[in-house]
Amino acid sequence: MSIGILLITVMSSLLIATIIFFVAYYRQWITEMYGMLISMSAGMSAGILAGTILGVLYHGNLFSSTVYAILIGLTVGFMAGMPVGLPALIDGMLSGLMGGMMGAMIGEMVAMARPDEIIQIMGLVVTMILLLILYTTEDVIRKQSGQAIFSFFRYPFFILLIIAVIFIGLHYFGSIKLAVFIDLSFIKVKYFLLS
């Protein structure tokens, strides 16, 4: 697994966890319409990114990558929609299902040409969407509650620029693979960067 894929997975997982935490913690100030928007966007984004990554990793086994991506999208859509209500729950789960199927197809079809590039492009797009969802969630909560809340992102477009620069840097440095070899006879850990 390349460092870029690991970075994309960790960053997207943290953003999704933050969105779910905000929705669960401030659920009394989120309207049903915004709850549906948030759960639909989070489920679709998680499903399409997970499907793309799994489609590349399980190339040639479309069934496994589709099932796993659908389960990930359904779970994220369920968790994001549960605190708001049944319409948001249904919307999030259906969007996660659809995103998982589409992501697995993208990962399967484009995997042979340029697997790292498609994952980085999808990761950048999904990260931008998740940041805008988080910004929208914070803005809605701030307007509805009338009080100051803890804000992760005051300037989302500046953060988007920083993340875009990181992804462009990952693209130009190539796919750097990190391999960890553990030599148990000498109890040494050696890190090798393989390009």
Domain segments of the chain as ranges: 3-194
Q: What is the average per-residue pLDDT within 127-131? A: 87
Tell me: the pLDDT tens digits for 61-118?
999 999 999 999 999 999 999 999 999 999 999 999 999 999 999 988 886 777 878 8
Structure-derived torsion over alpha carbons of residues 113, 115, 116, 121, reported in degrees to the nearest 10? 90
Tell me: the pLDDT tens digits for 155-174?
777 777 887 787 777 767 65
DSSP label of 152:
S
Whole-model pTM over 0.95: no
SS3 121: helix
pLDDT at 188 over 70: no
